[in-house]
Structure 1
Amino acid sequence: MEIANLKPSLAWKLNHVGLSPMHLALQHKCTKMVRGLITINSQLIRVKAKGMITPLHYLAQTEDPDLLAELLCACPSSIEDTTIHCETAAHVAIRNCSIRCFKVLLGWLRRVNKEDILNWKDEDGNTALHIAISTNQTEVVKLLVKHANVNVKNFNDLTAMDIFHLQGSLQSTEIGEILHKAKAKKASDLTSNMTLGDYLSKELTLIDKRDKYFGINIQNNPNDIRTVILVVAILIATATYQAGLSPPAGYWQDDYKPPANNGTTNNTHNSSLGDGQRQRRAGQMIMSPADLFYFLAVNGSAFYLSVWTILVIIIGLPFSRAVYTSTWLLLQAYYSSMTGTFPTQGSMALTVGRFLYITFTVISTCAAYMIPWRAFCKHQKLKRRVDTMRGSRVLTHPEN
């Protein structure tokens, strides 16, 4: 330990059989030394020994889930390392029937939103689910179908369901039931997959354009553009929502109904009355019809466009569904407030204006909410058809 502390580069060296000090410490179960090396440099967890096996891969095939968890927390990026056979730590754990370690890996992937690593393929095109089925591990299959793509094909064009049927009487019937409930299909029943080249040849989707303009897929990009636009959109949405609730002229505080016209005298008298003498109800907007239409059209357009921008930016992020739901409720509250305070009594112009504004509000509310959601669902469906070594993750998260 003292040598590694004085000369850290030695901790990266491999011996004559291709093992680093970290690998040797794990082999001899020197847990204290492993923790000491992590303290010196947590990146030592990513040192690749013979066969490109990292300390994380080594631990994944043992029954030491506690130390495995410590390594994951010390170096989160190590979960993306693969062996010379393109196997992730999840592949290794399942192949060696190390269920406890696999549960640790799965729990970590779920917490850091990297479940798509479960769809990564080894050199034969097998995902973690393929291996779990071929080794008849019912408990692992039950865990995987909740988070992995059950219809991915390996390089022999076999899906998880195909592998299950090939096992014949050797396979657990419970696994078949699990796959059936997860809507797993045979390769012959699937829509033809797209190659990565086919995907890149297609026109950009709305989500692709968002990622392009905001620089989401650019390596080492801090997403400053997205942050700035999101902040500005939130400020505009807040200001326009507040303006809608508090219009410039305010609201009437009482009800008023002009007296019935009696002859020419009353008609002449009423024609001289100002705007404040028109029929009204308490709680409705005071503004004149022309000003009211202009204000609501401009303010409403700014509000809905800013909400649409916010939803386009956040969709696909963790917890975005919760934000989507709350935004839908906000849009409903805005709609209720605007339609509830719009003048209902008065000229034909106000009646027509009210109808047009309600129509505009309904269409804008649905468009602001549905367009980003439909675009995201369409984009995700397209990505699931793309057959790559690293699942759909390669389409959105380039390696550093």
Structure 2
Amino acid sequence: MENKLYNACLEGNKSELLNLLQEDALLLDRFITGRYPETPLHVASMLGHLEFVDEILTRKPELAKEVDSRNSSPLHLASAKGYLQIVKRLLQVDPDMCLVSDIDGRNPLHTAAMKGHFDVLKELVQARPWAARVLMDQSETILHACVRCNQLEALTLLVERVSDHEFLNCKNHDGNTILHLAIAAKQTKIINLLISSTTIDVNCVNEDGFTALDLLSRNQRDAIDKEIVESLRRMGATHGQDKPLSNSQLKAIRTKILSSTWDQPNAASKSKKRKDGKRSVKNKNGDWLERKRNTLMLVASLLAAMAFQAGINPPSGVWQDNGPSGFSSTESNGKNHTAGFSVLADNHQRVYTLFIAWNTTGFLASLSIILMLISGLPLRRRFFMWVLMVIMWVAITAMALTYLECLVALTPDHQNSLLITILGIAVLVWIGLMLILLLGHMIRVLFRLIKYLRKSVMRLMRLMNPIATRPALV
């Protein structure tokens, strides 16, 4: 049904949509409750099928709030394609979608301005004018986007409708205003608009200390450069460093400004990636702790159940009647047994004592782990998880020894030699495994200690000799 609906969206076949909804009334609801790369409303809005969009919004207006895999809403797609009537219909349903940003940090107003769809932009600004003041990536405004895409008409509208002095002179992450961008690209019409019709600061400097006038060549400039310089001079523009720039310096600065588009890696995006990387490491550590926590709880519960079962049902069972102890009534040695008590306790006291000791140790260790995990304490640090794992080692070892004592109690005397051989091999393998684990953890702790000491020594050396460790200035 979903495939048929997508085909109907591609063709804008309204009658097919109605037929599909008659067959399955919940067809559109699945795109709200489920997770799809895009909804039928996205497809219809992108292709400009107005009647199809209107029918979907009439039946399920909630779809106007759904976003696709790039976090774009239907309003994003309709604005990018310039479908004015579809934009109006979507705004009737939910005008607040103007504030939703896609994966690139752009809302529908940014998209319409960059594409130069003047009528669409005008409609969006009228619906939610404050959405135009939302910053994009690299701290650029919608005005920066208009200048970069050379959209004079859109820039004029925004300057008239939503710009004030502060917003007009906003800087991006490189400290460039829209005047810096316009002069670097030699966009004469935009420069004249900014100089003559706005309160743009002609002497604003970027991070390199350059004003708009610094971006123009003083030597061998063409007529356009001369006209721009005269206009800037009339507005009181000056050089940032009060000295002319060489042609090579000017070319390097212009290239830097024009190449720092929002689609390329930059300092802001790298900083964001570093933050995201740190966040991902924290999430990774949290996932590791959560997995360890769940595993310890599961294993501890199984060990506790095994220990409890062995404690109430010891090897060899319990006496079923009262009478003399021993293998037969003639070998009682003058001792009596009582119904319900352990047979092993009367016939093999030493083995029974060891059995009870190891079983109780494993049982208490398992209960300790369960108690600590459900206590509500913030056991989020790795140290506490290592403590729980050590207790788990004790519990597993105790249960292994309990198993060995059970074998000793249940094995007849003529099989003792075979039992000793098997137990000897098992004990050696177990000890070897424990030593390997212990050695691995010791090596890991040793590496961390060496790394910590190395950092401490380097820090101490920097404190004792700060000049020697300071990087040379060029």
Q: Does TM, scored on the shorter chain, surpass 0.5?
A: no
Q: Which has the larger radius of gyration?
A: 2
Instruction: Considering Cα pairs closer than 8 Å and 6+ residues apart, tell me whether 1 or 2 has the greater RCO.
Output: 1
Shorter-chain TM range is: 0.3 to 0.5
TM-score by length of 2: 0.37
